[in-house]
Every structure is written in structure tokens, then in C-alpha cells.
Amino acid sequence: MSGPGEKKSPKGPRSLWSDGWSRFRKNRMGMAGAVIVGIFYLIAALAPVLTTHDPVEQGDIPRMRYHAPNQQHLLGTDKFGRDVLTRILYGARISLLISFIAVAIAAVLGSAVGAAAGYIGGIVDAVLMRIVDGLLAIPRIFLLLTCISLFSGSVWLIIVLLGLTSWMETARLVRGQVLSLKGMEFIQAAEALGVGGRRIVLRHLIPNTLTVIIVAATLRIGRIILIEAALSFLGLGVPQPTPSWGQMIFSGRDVLLSAWWVSTFPGVAIAVTVIGYNLFGDGLRDAFDPRQYV
Amino acid sequence: MLDRDVLLKVEGLTTEFETEEGTARVVDGVDFEVGRGETVGLVGESGCGKTVTALSLMRLIPDPPGRITEGSVRIDGRETLDLPEREMRKIRGNEISIIFQEPLSSLNPVFTCGEQVREAIGLHQKLGRRRSKEKAIEMLRLVRIPDPESRYRNYPHQMSGGMRQRVMIAMALSCEPKLLIADEPSTALDVSVQAQIIELLLDLKKRMGMALLLITHDLAVVAQMAERVIVMYAGRIVEKAPLDELFTNPAHPYTIGLLDSVPRLGSVKRRLPVIPGSVPDPLRLPGGCRFSDRCSSAVERCTIEEPPMISITGSHSSRCWLNERG
């Protein structure tokens, strides 16, 4: 994720971004997380090239179903004779797509609400923050289940719902940052030069909170992947036959003892991805901690 | 002063802040003018309302809790206190600019200094990308930043305090304002840099023909720069005089106290005299003259009745009963 504040820095002078980046590179766990995340995106992008089987096409079911991992099917086959490895690789696409876009929606919406509340203050702040409190009080999984069962499930519905239910924490975070930045002299100096309110928010406040927003978003991606898996496991996630990790675990639950590979490998994929994102996010937080601003 | 020579005319300016304990009147009925191209020093201890006066002129008082409750501020004859915010924005940076005390935190940490100067230019002038960058580099050169082309790409944290103050000056002057308010422009800098900044301001003022309202507690800076001096105490103007007159013939006991407390080279006094006490809390002002509780020449009348501004000569006036003639 790169934000508008991320400029190609010229040689010589170092921006906060390049400073933070060089701190990040020294953080081994963070780098490991970044590599894991990078690999998953690569896999997702290259899934058709890396796989030899079709993710959706059902094979000769009686003959092909529940093959244990072998040379032909490195991670075995599922109930419909489909290659588990292939489906995991394609599943990466859907998991990463859903989590990335949902978090992007949440980050934009949360930043906008938080910045507006913090900068305008007064009644606007009070109203927006009470809305946030209210939404945080609704158990998300029930909200999601209700909405998905009311409207027929589709990938985009899930993305939008996940995005709309996870912006509140970002809003709080950004509001806090904006409140503390608002009192800083450079904001007053900008106002003294005749900079208007919208420009102050977009050019002076948001770029100064961008690292916080990105760190929060990265950590949130892991959680969104888990929620999406949970929804799919409940049968309300990505509709069949599109491969999704949660739904693959779900489909293997009956045969967990006899054909353990059907559920286990997608589970491992989820765990590794989420751990990767969390390590990456923690590393980013250490590198771009706003308290290290000079 | 002839009307057409007056650039800034302030009358009865009053700014209040709501606090939990009540309404604090931090600036109380302040009147003064600044002529075109003139340098006026606004002097007083910290907490006397100098900075609030400056922010009121810019209409940058944080509201709430602050509010300008009374008075008039005219720039070039045009009243600004009742302008809509949108119109006021066109005046800020364009007709009046301000530079602040803290050059360390007055620049946005995530953009390069050059970008910020360019933003200031772009706010009031329509110039193309390349043209505005050239202008920004020109401004950096004008404020005597060495090697402005490469300094353009520096971030604030890569610059020294003096350099940052220069960038601030470049931003403030980028639209050639008619009036520059300098709020303690050199206080946060070390002494040798202070001198450079003051010299730079004087030079730029002469070159651009703008007026300068210099806010400071440092009488040495005032002596170097100002043509006229306004002394403030507890939200009130207590003395106005041309520079020489103020130094040779101060009329208000507070001014006399301020002048006495400046160390002088070759002075034989062993101890510097100081004014006892401190600026009163705006919520608990003494009755009568606000300086009466610290004044060594106070008489009974001073604690009962506040003196008006009393004229001494044409351009010299003071808020003290001692100056009443007859």
C-alpha cells in the first residue's frame, strides 16, 4: 500500500519514509512478514502459471476423490477430485483480494471520518464519535450473517460489508492523531498563510497520520482474512465453486480423520498468511512509530 | 499620520478566552496603527497579550475558547473582523503574514522545505508547476539559504533552527505581503543566528517595502529595528512612543522598569534592578491601574481609577496618572 505522501525521494536527503524504511529493513521479523506477504501476492498473481490442474473443474469423482498427497497432487485431492494445491493457490487470490479491498475501504472511510471529527471538532466530532461507538457495539459476525442471508452472497457484497464494518477503529485512531496534530504550530502556520480547511486536512493532517493508518490497515488485513474464512466456513462466504480457504476447510470437516489434507493445508495457508501480515504490521509499527517523529 | 499612510489601524481590539473560572480578557481595548513600510515594536513580558494581539489581527484565535469580542481592525481601510472566513483566507499570507516563534515545529515534517514554500506561493498566485518551483527557489535564495536548489529538497528535520526560520520567512513573504507580523522571530535561536535573522528581516523589509510589526520581549531587538514602540501590560497598551523618545524619556513606570532591567555594558550597578512580581492573571486584575500592585510610584488614586492614555507629546502617550499635567 503506498499513500499519496510517499514521494520518490531524491538521492541525498532522506524523508521520514526512507528513514522508516531503513529502520524496517533491519527488523528481521518484520522483513520475514513482508516476504511472506509478498510471496502470497506473487502466488495469487501467478496462480494460473504455477498450477497444472483446474481449480473448479471436477474430475472423475469416484476415481479421483480424496487422493492422499502424491506426486501428481502434491497436497492431495478433495471430495470432487480437485487438486488441493491448485485450489489453495487460487484461494489466495480471493482471500487477498477481499482483505485488501475491504481494508482499503475501511482505511479511507475511517480516515475521512476521523479527520473530519478531529479537525472540525464540536458537535460534528460528538455525533461522528457516537456513531462509531454505536457501530462498535454491534457484534459484527451477526451483522454480517444477517446481511448476507438477506441478500444473496457474492464476493463484492462480502468485500463491502467487511469494509463497512471495520473502519471504526481507524476513525478513532486518526481522530486522536489529528487532535494532537491540530495544536502543532505548523498547522497554525499553514492557516496563517491562508490554507483552507480541506487542504489542511488533506495535505497537512492526513500525510502526518499516514504511517499510523497504514500500520493499522496492515494489522487489520490479517483479521479480515480470518473473518472471511469464518464466513466461508459457515457457508455464507464466497459462493461455490470459487475456491476460498475458509470454504475448503469447511468442505473437509467430515473427512478430517480419513482425508486430513483437505482441511489442513488451507488452514496452514490461512495461519501463515495471517502471521505474515501481523509480523509485517508489527515491523511497520516499530519502524514508523509516530513518537519517533523529529 | 495621514490616513493614506496608515496600513493597519486597530481600534478597541478586545479578545476574550472562556476558562473554567470565567472569562479572561487577554487583550483589552487595544488601539494602534502601523504605517506603510513602518517598523513598529510591540513589547511586553510574556503573558501580556502580545501574541494574542497578533493572532487576533490574523483572526487565528482558536475558537472556542477564544473570541474577538469588540473592536475594529482595518487593513488598507478595509474592515477585516467581519469578513467571511473565505475572504479572510485571501488576506492571510497575501496582505498580512506572520512568522512564529518556533521555527522547529512550524514546518510540516513530511514535506520538503521547498514544497512548502511552493505551496505558500501557489495559494495566492496562479503559477505553473515549473514556474512556482523556480519562484520557490528564488525565495529561498532571497532569504539567503545557501545552495537553494539542493536545499529545496531538504526535509525540515535536516535543517538547523536558523535555516528553518529562513524557510518560514520565505513562506511568509512569498506573496509579498504589505505587513509582516514577526512574533518573537529570533527568540528560539541562538545569539549569533538571532543577529543574522534580524539583519535579514531588516534587509527584506527595505527591499520589499513592507511594514513590520515586531513582537518581542527583547528591548535590544526593538532598539535595532523599530521606528516606533508600543508597550503592552496585562492586555492593555501602557505606552506608545517613537523609539528614541522611549529610550531617552520613558513615561510609564513599567517601561522604565523594563529599560532598567536590561544589562548595559560598562554599567557599574552590581545588581540588575528587576520589576517585582509578575504579570497579573487576567482573571484577577488589580483594581485601577493594572500595574499598580507592582509599581513603586503608585499612589492611592492608582488603585481606584484606571488612567486613560495621556498624551505627552504629539506621538508619545502613556497610561499613567503621573503624566497628567495641571
- The predicted structure's pLDDT at residue A292: 47
- Put simply, whether the predicted model's pTM sits higher than 0.80 gets the answer no
C-alpha Rg value of chain B to the nearest Å: 21
Terminal Cα distance for chain A, rounded = 24
A11, A120, A186, best to mutate vs chain B, most B CBs in 10 Å? A186
> How many Å apart are CA B321 and CA B203, to the nearest integer?
40
- The Cα of A172 is separated from the nearest Cα of chain B by a number of Å equal to 22
- The Cα of B59 is separated from the nearest Cα of chain A by a number of Å equal to 9
> How many Å apart are CA A175 and CA A181, to the nearest integer?
10
The CA-based angle A110-A33-A8, given to 5 degrees, is: 65
Residues in chain B closer than 8 A to A13 (CB atoms): 112, 153-155, 158
- Asked whether the beta carbons of residue A189 and residue B107 sit closer than 8 angstroms, the reply is yes
Measured CA to CA in angstroms, residue A136 lies from A132, B9, B306 at distances of 6, 53, 58
B18, B100, B110, best to mutate vs chain A, most A CBs in 10 Å? B110
Residues in chain A closer than 8 A to B133 (CB atoms): none
The grid coordinates of residue B57 equal 489581527
> How many Å apart are CA B289 and CA B296, to the nearest integer?
13
pLDDT tens per residue, range B252-285: 888 888 888 777 776 666 677 777 777 788 888 8
Of B89, B168, B172, the CB nearest to A196: B89
Is residue B275 within 8 Å of B261, Cβ to Cβ? yes
Residue B82 CB neighbours (<10 A): 9
pLDDT tens per residue, range A18-62: 777 888 888 888 899 999 999 988 888 887 877 777 777 776 667
pLDDT tens per residue, range B139-153: 898 888 888 888 888
Residues in chain A closer than 8 A to B94 (CB atoms): 194
State which residues form the domain around A111.
16-292
Whether the pLDDT of residue A68 is over 50: the answer is yes
Q: Could you tell me the pLDDT band of residue B18, with boundaries at 50, 70 and 90?
A: confident
Measured CA to CA in angstroms, residue A112 lies from A123, A128, A184 at distances of 16, 11, 20
Q: Is residue A75 part of a domain?
A: yes
Residues in chain A closer than 8 A to B150 (CB atoms): 12
> How many Å apart are CA B281 and CA B258, to the nearest integer?
19
Whether the pLDDT of residue A197 is over 50: the answer is yes
Name the residue with higher pLDDT: B175 or A289.
Answer: B175
Whether the pLDDT of residue B33 is over 80: the answer is yes
Q: Is A290 on the interface with B (CB under 8 A)?
A: no
Burial of B127 (0-12, 13-18, 19+ CB in 10 A): middle
What is the CATH number for A215? 1.10.3720.10
Beta strands in B81-210 (DSSP E): 96-99, 179-183
- Asked whether the beta carbons of residue A194 and residue B89 sit closer than 8 angstroms, the reply is yes
> How many Å apart are CA A37 and CA B160, to the nearest integer?
40
Whether the pLDDT of residue A5 is over 50: the answer is no
Task: State ipTM.
Answer: 0.76
Of A10, A15, A184, the CB nearest to B105: A184
Q: Is residue A157 part of a domain?
A: yes
> How many Å apart are CA B130 and CA A73, to the nearest integer?
60
Of B94, B110, B112, the CB nearest to A194: B94
> How many Å apart are CA A273 and CA A250, to the nearest integer?
18
Residue A118: closest CA among A52, A154, A172: A172
- pLDDT above 70 covers what percent of chain B? 96
The CA-based angle A78-A81-A84, given to 5 degrees, is: 45
Q: Is residue A152 part of a domain?
A: yes
- pLDDT above 70 covers what percent of chain A? 90
Of A14, A196, A293, the CB nearest to B109: A293
Mean pLDDT for B176-183 is 89
Residues in chain A closer than 8 A to B105 (CB atoms): 184-186
Mean pLDDT for B97-116 is 84
Q: Could you tell me the pLDDT band of residue A2, with boundaries at 50, 70 and 90?
A: very low
The CA-based angle B316-B320-B322, given to 5 degrees, is: 100
- Asked whether the beta carbons of residue A194 and residue B157 sit closer than 8 angstroms, the reply is no
Of B93, B94, B154, the CB nearest to A13: B154
- pLDDT above 90 covers what percent of chain A? 18
Whether the pLDDT of residue A124 is over 60: the answer is yes
Q: Is A190 on the interface with B (CB under 8 A)?
A: yes
> How many Å apart are CA A21 and CA A108, to the nearest integer?
23
Residues in chain A closer than 8 A to B97 (CB atoms): 192-193
Name the residue with higher pLDDT: A4 or A244.
Answer: A244
- Asked whether the beta carbons of residue A207 and residue B111 sit closer than 8 angstroms, the reply is yes
Q: Is residue A6 part of a domain?
A: no
pLDDT tens per residue, range A94-103: 888 888 999 9
B99, B108, B118, B179, best to mutate vs chain A, most A CBs in 10 Å? B108
Q: Is residue A4 part of a domain?
A: no
Is residue A165 within 8 Å of A109, Cβ to Cβ? no
- Asked whether the beta carbons of residue A10 and residue B102 sit closer than 8 angstroms, the reply is no
Mean pLDDT for B50-74 is 87
- Asked whether the beta carbons of residue B153 and residue A12 sit closer than 8 angstroms, the reply is yes
The grid coordinates of residue B207 equal 527591499
Q: Is A194 on the interface with B (CB under 8 A)?
A: yes
Residues in chain A closer than 8 A to B58 (CB atoms): 192
Of B110, B155, B171, the CB nearest to A13: B155
> How many Å apart are CA B267 and CA B265, to the nearest integer?
5
Terminal Cα distance for chain B, rounded = 27
User: Into how many domains does chain A fold?
Assistant: 1
- The predicted structure's pLDDT at residue A10: 43
Q: Is A39 on the interface with B (CB under 8 A)?
A: no
Q: Could you tell me the pLDDT band of residue A11, with boundaries at 50, 70 and 90?
A: very low
Burial of B296 (0-12, 13-18, 19+ CB in 10 A): exposed
- The predicted structure's pLDDT at residue A67: 72
Name the residue with higher pLDDT: A113 or A152.
Answer: A113
Of A10, A16, A189, the CB nearest to B106: A189
Q: How many CB pairs under 8 A join A and B?
A: 79
- The predicted structure's pLDDT at residue A172: 92
Residues in chain B closer than 8 A to A15 (CB atoms): 110, 112, 155
- The predicted structure's pLDDT at residue B228: 92
State chain B's mean pLDDT as an integer.
Answer: 85
Q: Is A204 on the interface with B (CB under 8 A)?
A: yes
- The predicted structure's pLDDT at residue A6: 40
- The Cα of A258 is separated from the nearest Cα of chain B by a number of Å equal to 57
Q: Is residue A1 part of a domain?
A: no
Whether the pLDDT of residue B45 is over 90: the answer is no
Q: Is residue A9 part of a domain?
A: no
Q: Is residue A88 part of a domain?
A: yes
